[in-house]
Amino acid sequence: MSDQKPFLRIIKGNPSDVEVATLTALFATMANNAASAAAPERERNLWGNVSERLHRPMIYNPSAFRNVSFY
């Protein structure tokens, strides 16, 4: 026999085969969803992003401090 751990171990109670199968399917689905959520995402399309319209572009200005007036 193989030395694998069981997928599900019942500690207490006497569940039926249907209940064990339901729990096994539930945990397998949750594991699959977690694996697909952890997969690398494709590049997001930010066309029409609101933040681009609300914020001015940051432009490097080497003479920025010379243009500041303190009065």
Question: What's the token pair of residue 31?
Answer: 């594991």
Tens digit of each residue's pLDDT (9 = 90 or more) over 17-37? 999 999 999 999 998 888 877
Delimit the domains of the chain by residue range.
17-54
Whole-number Å distance between alpha carbons of 47 and 28? 37
Looking at this protein, which amino acid is placed at residue 43? Answer: E
User: Quick one: which of 22, 18, 20 has its CA closest to 9?
Assistant: 20
| HSE (side-chain half, CA atoms, 13 Å) at 5 | 4
One digit per residue, pLDDT tens: the chain, 71 residues? Answer: 568 888 788 899 999 999 999 999 999 999 888 887 776 676 777 677 777 667 766 677 777 777 666 65
